[in-house]
Amino acid sequence: MKIRRRTVLGAVGASLLAAPALGQADFPNKPLKVIVPYPPGGGTDGLGRITCQYLSEKLGQQIVIQNVGGASGTIGSDTVRRADPDGYTLLFNASLFVLGKTVVPTCPYDPVTDFRAIAQAGEAPLVLLANNNVPGSDYAATMAAVAKDPKKFFVAISSGGSAGHIATLAWIKRTGLPIDTILYKGTAPANTDLMAGTVQFFMDPWTALLPLATSGRAKGMFVTSKERTPLAPNIPTSAEVGLKDFNLSSWYGLWAPKDTPEPIVTKLAAAMAQVSADKAFIEKTTSLGIVPTARGPKEFTAFIKEEVATNNALLKEAGFKPE
C-alpha cells in the first residue's frame, strides 16, 4: 500500500509541475489586457491601439486596452508590475517610462529591473520648430543670428525627461550656445507660446509639431530622422544642417512583469516581430509619422540601458530636478 501511495503522489506531483508548462505551451488561450498608462487620445494611446489591433491578429486572441492614467504614467505602469506574470497583462508605454525616479521622484518601481522588455513597437523622430519672427531663412542663418545674442532666445520643453527635453539638451550641448529652456506641462501650451513668440524654439516628436510647420504657423529647422519625411519634405534632416548622428526620437514599446516565463516572452516577441513586418501596419503607422521598429527582447533591453545611461547623464549635466 505504501508503494502504491507513493506512486499516486508522484503522479500528482508530476502533473502539478507540468501544468505551468502546458499553460505556457498553449499561450494565449484567453483575451489579453494591455494597459496604457495615459488617458485616451494621446500619442501613446493611439499607437498602442494600432499595435494591439495587429498583435491581436497575430496571437489569435482579443486584446483589451485599458487606460490607467495618473502620476505621469506611474499608476498604470505599477499596475502591470504587480500583475500576475502570466503574459495576460502587459504594458504599452513611451520612452519617458524608462527614466523612472529621474523624472518622477515618487515612482514606485525600477523600470529596468521590475519589467521584462518584450519589443519596441515604433519611434517618432523629432522636429525643431522656430517662431516665424526668428531671423534667418534656414538653419545656418538662424543659428548665426542666435549666436550674436543667445540669451534673447528661449526653447520650450513639453515635459521633464521627455524625448523632446533630452533632444533639446543634446542640441544645446552640440551648439555650445547658452540658450535657456522653459518647462511646460504638455505640448499644447508650449505650441501656444511658440506661435505667440514667448519662446523662439520648440523640439518635440514630429507627430504633434509637423502640422505647425506644414501650415506655415512655424518654421521647421530640421527633423531628427535619417531621411526627410514625406509628411514635410521641405524640412532638412539634422545631418543636412550639420548635426551628424543627431537621430534622437520618442519611442514606444511593450513590457511584461519581470517574472514572466521565457516561453511566453518569446511568443509575444515573435508576434510583435510579425506586426512590425506587416505591410498594413507599416502603412498605417507611417502615415501618422511613426517609424516601425523591430527590436526584440535582448536588443530592446540593451537599447533601454543605453538610453537610460545617456539620458540620465544629460539631465544631470543640465541640473534638471524633477518637480
Instruction: Please check whether residue 133 is in contact with residue 77, taking contact to mean a CB–CB distance below 8 angstroms.
Output: no
| Candidate CATH numbers 3.40.50.720, 3.30.70.2190, 3.40.190.150, 3.90.550.10; the one for domain 31-124+250-317 | 3.40.190.150
Phi/psi at 266 (nearest 5 deg)? Answer: -60, -45
- Fold classified for 125-223: D-Maltodextrin-Binding Protein; domain 2 (3.40.190)
Cis, bond preceding 178 (omega within 30 deg of 0): no
153's CB contacts (< 8 A; 6+ apart) are 134, 146, 179, 180, 200, 201
Q: Is 49 left (phi over 0), alpha (psi -120 to 50) or beta?
A: alpha
Q: Do domains 31-124+250-317 and 125-223 have the same CATH topology?
A: yes
What is the pLDDT at residue 16? 46
103's CB contacts (< 8 A; 6+ apart) are 72, 96, 160, 161, 315, 322
Domain boundaries, the chain: 31-124+250-317, 125-223
Q: Give the Cβ contact number of residue 46 at 10 Å.
A: 17
| pTM given for the model | 0.85
Q: What angle do CA 268, 274, 280 make, to 5 degrees?
A: 130
Taking CA atoms, 214 is separated from 138, 163, 198, in Å, by: 15, 22, 21
Residue whose C-alpha cell reads 512590425 in the numeric block:
276
Q: Which residues pair with 219 in a beta bridge?
A: 130
Phi/psi at 226 (nearest 5 deg)? Answer: -75, -25
Among 65, 82, 120, 128, smallest CA distance to 257 is for: 82
Among 125, 159, 121, smallest CA distance to 45 is for: 121
Q: C-alpha grid cell for residue 149?
A: 545674442
Mean pLDDT (10-residue bins), the chain, 323 residues: 40 46 78 95 90 98 96 94 98 95 94 97 96 96 96 94 94 95 91 96 94 96 95 97 95 97 98 97 93 93 95 90 79
Taking CA atoms, 119 is separated from 80, 214, 274, 281, in Å, by: 16, 32, 11, 15
